[in-house]
């Protein structure tokens, strides 16, 4: 694929698409080589060059883009900050950047504890507006300084404190969206929307309630596939929560009303040290009844890399151990929190522990955890990559899963240091795939398939928060039955019958790996783009930032 000659996606050339967009009044339309190169990557291993990039200023312009898409057959990929690791914020047709202009917080209603926002508002910007009222948006991904609320809802993102505040799907009060047919729908908790489309959606689920009840929504971090459980009658046919995690494949989000939570008055962090990460995982079921707002894990290697990169001064004193749990408790009464923390320590099987009550020291511990992804990619001789980086299992199985996962890495002669949201059963890892060496892509593929089988054998989900994208969608038959996959196709057909919204993701997926992987050291097929990537990485803005 050449960057100089814009590719054809759907039935129209790039020139036709640009003309159709401009004719409909879309102002910021850019098919320059540089812009297409910039938007050809997200934080994943994938590169997919778009035909054209659009940065809408108003909702009407987004609707005009969808109209042009239907007229030309050229697909639309919605994009926030492009921090997605699954390869779902890139596409061959029209990439719509919501972050550039559609990024306002319209209202914070402190009484109802909700905020009404544009899809492109950055998470940190919303927190800044809500903070003076003692409120915040609960889900907190490590990319909170740059990720958008639309992208969070697209991926059903959450973060370190999902135990306390839930996932994005638990925090959407109402969504304003447009389907692939251009129909505008407002759906949500306090909204009674009626539409033949919604009736058809209800009918799809009604055809096989048993499959939805037994295969979907089995545990909190089951993010792979569509979250059909929200459409069950006993769950109130909650279309807004269902749309979270649909990765831009069922609708384009035009606006959202999201829940806010009160910022806790006091936080007590207990850091527990174990012999290994698997032993830390074994203790998770004992920790959860204590009601922590976070129960996170990381290994000693990540701390050592942090120390080597940033100096010893920024590293707080850890208790003895090779694997650690951060158990964070929140409440109004510090004395009660201290007593609760003592009970956590007494019940734990930890080798050693530390109580951390100073806000500054807590921040130092969390900084190391939040930089886990970047740090975990620098531990081994080869750079470690994403691709299999956020699988989740029911929390009771996380210790056993970690042992089996370690054995699988050894079997494939690969290395990776797990860390992440162990309290939710969600394990992050970066793996040193030799993807640029002979046989590298085949080895990558073989590992991913084995990891998928292993995760499925533990009753897990291939994605626990990043989405399936191009990295995992093709593997869904290893996790879901044929009837469940038929239901996924059914809801896609209702909301996007012509496959114009983010094709290649979730339903009728692109193969893994489909587009050229471009990790560090990998020869890029597009020389102009490789130079650009190198520049961005040098500025700390590349895929590994």
CB of 108 to ligand FAD, least distance (A): 20
Q: Which is nearer to ligand FAD, 104 or 403 (CB)?
A: 104
CB of 349 to ligand FAD, least distance (A): 27
CB of 240 to ligand FAD, least distance (A): 13
CB of 1 to ligand FAD, least distance (A): 20
**Axis-axis angle for helices 300-310, 359-370 (nearest 10):** 100
Question: In the sheet that 114-117 helps form, which strands lie side by side, from edge to edge?
Answer: 105-109, 114-117, 251-259, 172-179, 184-188
C-alpha 277/C-alpha 403 separation (Å) is: 9
Q: Which is nearer to ligand FAD, 232 or 252 (CB)?
A: 252
Q: Which is nearer to ligand FAD, 119 or 394 (CB)?
A: 119
CB of 157 to ligand FAD, least distance (A): 3
CB of 497 to ligand FAD, least distance (A): 17
> Contact, 430 vs 377, CB < 8 A?
yes
For CA atoms 373, 119, 246, 82, give the dihedral sign. negative
CB of 121 to ligand FAD, least distance (A): 10
3-state secondary structure 313-361: HHCCCCCCCCEEEEEEEEECCHHHHHHHHHHHHHHCCCCEEEEECCHHH
Q: Which residues contact 193 (CB under 8 A, 6 or more apart)?
A: 185, 186, 187, 239
> Contact, 89 vs 131, CB < 8 A?
no
Q: Which is nearer to ligand FAD, 75 or 490 (CB)?
A: 75
CB of 346 to ligand FAD, least distance (A): 30
C-alpha 316/C-alpha 520 separation (Å) is: 31
Q: Which is nearer to ligand FAD, 284 or 344 (CB)?
A: 284
Q: Which is nearer to ligand FAD, 77 or 340 (CB)?
A: 77
Q: Which is nearer to ligand FAD, 94 or 475 (CB)?
A: 94
Q: Which is nearer to ligand FAD, 408 or 501 (CB)?
A: 501
Q: Which is nearer to ligand FAD, 59 or 351 (CB)?
A: 59
Question: In the sheet that 352-356 helps form, which strands lie side by side, from edge to edge?
Answer: 352-356, 266-274, 323-331, 294-299, 419-421, 426-428
Exposure on the CB side of residue 531, measured as CA atoms within 13 A:
3
CB of 491 to ligand FAD, least distance (A): 15
Q: What is the CA radius of gyration of the chain?
A: 23
C-alpha 383/C-alpha 49 separation (Å) is: 24
Please give the residue ranges that form the binding site for ligand FAD (CB under 6 A).
42-43, 77-85, 88-89, 98, 119, 141-143, 147-148, 150-152, 154-155, 157-159, 247-248, 252-253, 373, 465-466, 502
C-alpha 514/C-alpha 511 separation (Å) is: 5
Number of other CB atoms surrounding residue 440 within 10 Å: 15
């Amino acid at each position: 694929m050449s960057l100089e000659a814009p590719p054809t996606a759907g039935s129209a050339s790039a020139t036709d698409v640009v003309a159709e967009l401009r004719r409909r009044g879309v102002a910021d339309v850019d098919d320059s080589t540089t812009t297409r190169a910039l938007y050809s990557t997200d934080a994943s291993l994938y590169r997919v060059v778009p035909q054209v990039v659009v940065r809408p200023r108003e909702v009407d312009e987004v609707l005009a883009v969808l109209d042009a898409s239907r007229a030309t057959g050229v697909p639309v990929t919605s994009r926030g900050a492009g921090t997605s690791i699954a390869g779902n914020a890139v596409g061959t047709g029209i990439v719509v950047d919501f972050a550039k202009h559609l990024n306002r917080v319209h209202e914070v209603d402190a009484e109802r504890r909700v905020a009404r926002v544009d899809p492109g508002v950055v998470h940190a910007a919303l927190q800044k507006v809500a903070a003076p009222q003692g409120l915040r948006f609960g889900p907190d991904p490590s990319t909170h300084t740059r990720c958008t609320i639309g992208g969070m809802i697209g991926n059903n993102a959450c973060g370190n404190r999902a135990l306390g505040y839930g996932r994005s799907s638990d925090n959407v009060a109402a969504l304003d969206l447009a389907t692939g047919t251009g129909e505008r729908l407002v759906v949500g908790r306090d909204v009674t929307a009626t539409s033949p489309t919604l009736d058809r959606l209800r009918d799809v689920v009604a055809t096989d309630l048993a499959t939805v009840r037994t295969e979907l929504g089995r545990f909190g971090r089951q993010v792979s596939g569509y979250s059909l459980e929200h459409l069950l009658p006993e769950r109130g046919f909650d279309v807004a929560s269902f749309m979270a995690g649909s990765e831009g494949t069922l609708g384009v989000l035009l606006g959202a009303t999201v829940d806010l939570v009160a910022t806790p008055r006091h936080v007590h962090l207990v850091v527990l040290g174990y012999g290994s990460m698997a032993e830390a995982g074994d203790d998770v079921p004992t920790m959860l009844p204590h009601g922590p707002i976070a129960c996170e894990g990381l290994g000693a290697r990540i701390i050592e890399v942090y120390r080597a990169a940033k100096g010893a001064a920024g590293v707080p004193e850890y208790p003895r151990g090779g694997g650690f749990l951060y158990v964070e408790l929140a409440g109004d009464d510090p004395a009660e929190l201290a007593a609760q923390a003592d009970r956590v320590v007494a019940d734990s099987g930890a080798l050693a522990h530390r109580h951390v009550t100073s806000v500054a020291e807590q921040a130092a511990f969390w900084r190391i955890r939040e930089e886990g992804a970047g740090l975990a990619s620098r531990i081994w001789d080869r750079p470690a990559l994403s691709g299999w980086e956020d699988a989740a299992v029911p929390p009771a199985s996380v210790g056993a899963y970690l042992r089996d996962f370690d054995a699988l890495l050894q079997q494939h002669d690969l290395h990776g240091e797990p860390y992440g949201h162990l309290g939710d059963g969600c394990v992050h890892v970066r793996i040193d795939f030799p993807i640029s060496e002979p046989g590298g892509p085949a080895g990558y593929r073989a590992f991913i398939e084995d990891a998928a089988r292993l995760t499925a054998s533990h009753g897990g989900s291939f994605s626990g928060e990043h989405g399936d994208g191009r990295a995992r969608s093709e593997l869904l038959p290893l996790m879901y039955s044929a009837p469940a996959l038929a239901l996924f196709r059914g809801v896609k057909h209702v909301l996007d019958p012509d496959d114009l919204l983010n094709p290649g993701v979730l339903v009728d997926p692109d193969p893994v790996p489909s587009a050229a992987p471009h990790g560090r050291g990998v020869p890029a097929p597009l020389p102009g783009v490789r130079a650009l990537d190198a520049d961005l990485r040098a500025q700390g803005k590349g895929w590994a930032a």
